[in-house]
Structure 1
């Protein structure tokens, strides 16, 4: 593991480039952005991530349904793994265009070339060399509908257990939908962690099959809860701005004041 990471010059290692102050700024930015444009981030009650500060390193691998996934990673890392340094691979072309992403834990990936795959493994080895670190990985490597089966994980994820057998692999299901409010809902659920050592007992194709099965099961369970439209099945992690705004909300506010009631901009009442 150390040999792989050593292949990278120090200034190209994700752990050397990450700037904690800039990470905090982007958490603040994305939180404000999320609450302005979405109604809520909800976590399935059965899908909590029960890891402690000393457990890890961690590989959180998810499906990739929408543009919002990047914001979910930033906010999810701060909320669910606050004691871990979090990193995420992104497309190498995007990384070249927006180099400052490296200051918040991103590292470029080009899995279509042998050199790109080698760089991904070396950078990931650098990250997974310490227990207080985490990688958030869009493991399909492309945008994909949440209902697509098989989920089709990229082959590279099966190599990661070789970098550190102590790593924990955690499936994360992500789904978006609209309920009663103007803004969308982001639904999340974590599956049970899988030990890297257990994955190493399998050959690479079998590892990928097991990781896919764990993510598929988590996705299917989450979709059942989303279809129920029952907010009681979820914990609200982050609440956005409810209501329509403009004349409609002004009229509702005045009516509530005339009745001596508290104004609630949401359509059906906050759960």
Structure 2
């Protein structure tokens, strides 16, 4: 499914990029990884699956999923998603019980869209759900890693996806804080990561990023077929991109 989602992203987005300052958590970390992120778009699940497949192919990946949505998209259940009722207090207990079992497994990675629902990337405060802070008590050897996600239209017809990892925190240092302060710490580090990523995205400078996946350029369909044919008839190479790499705007 990781390969399928990579093809799907290539077809519908301009690509997936990561800023040069972003470093993913080490795959060799002996304990579980808890990667928590904001939740700006439907594409988040596809980006997470792609990152999981590329960065940690040998680990056991799990992610909470809105139970109502999981009933519509059962394919995600086969890829490690588990249902959580987001509308009742019972959902919090479901999440913690499932997380407790997952985090005891060797090589576990728990991916959490910690806002719990779609939120614009510019919303502040982020309003993370409190359950993510409770996990420090369940997995003392876990590493918590913020992941900022954003999407923007630059030069091509498809949006560009951006992902940036922030500085990791150990469960031990988080568990030493009272729960409200712990949640504030998690939210503050993710906010800082989002703000830094947002500044890079607003710059519209590709050199600030390294591509993780390149998407399809151009308009596509009959129009690009006509453009390619016309270029060949003139003896020229055909570049479907709106603006070729290294070419400045007029």
TM above 0.5:
yes
Task: Name the SS for the 1:137 alignment partner.
Answer: strand
- Pairing of 1:1-271 with structure 2 (within 5 A): 26-258=1-233, 260-270=235-245
Tell me how far apart the structure 2 counterparts of residues 67 and 158 of structure 1 sit (CA, whole Å): 24
Task: Name the SS for the 1:32 alignment partner.
Answer: helix
Deviation at 1:201, TM superposition (A): 0.3
Deviations 1:187-212 (A, max 9, x none): 11000111001000001100100000
Q: Which has the higher helix share?
A: 1
Task: Name the SS for the 2:147 alignment partner.
Answer: strand
- Could you list the runs of 4 or more consecutive aligned residues of structure 1 that deviate by over 6 angstroms after TM superposition? none
Tell me how far apart the structure 2 counterparts of residues 53 and 147 of structure 1 sit (CA, whole Å): 33
Tell me how far apart the structure 2 counterparts of residues 151 and 38 of structure 1 sit (CA, whole Å): 25
Tell me how far apart the structure 2 counterparts of residues 250 and 95 of structure 1 sit (CA, whole Å): 39
Q: TM-score, normalised by structure 2?
A: 0.92
Deviation at 1:250, TM superposition (A): 3.1
Deviations 1:144-171 (A, max 9, x none): 1101111110111111111111111100
Deviations 1:103-140 (A, max 9, x none): 21000112443432222111101111134111111100
Say whether the 8 Å CA contact 1:63–1:138 is kept in structure 2. Answer: yes
Say whether the 8 Å CA contact 2:27–2:55 is kept in structure 1. Answer: no
Say whether the 8 Å CA contact 1:56–1:134 is kept in structure 2. Answer: no
Tell me how far apart the structure 2 counterparts of residues 114 and 33 of structure 1 sit (CA, whole Å): 36
Moved more, 99-108 or 39-48: 99-108
For structure 1, the residue ranges without an aligned partner over 5 or more in a row are 1-25
Tell me how far apart the structure 1 counterparts of residues 200 and 73 of structure 2 sit (CA, whole Å): 37
Deviation at 1:96, TM superposition (A): 3.8
Deviations 1:27-79 (A, max 9, x none): 12211211111111011111120412344301111110011011111111112
Count, aligned residues: 246
Task: Name the SS for the 1:169 alignment partner.
Answer: strand
Deviation at 1:94, TM superposition (A): 2.4
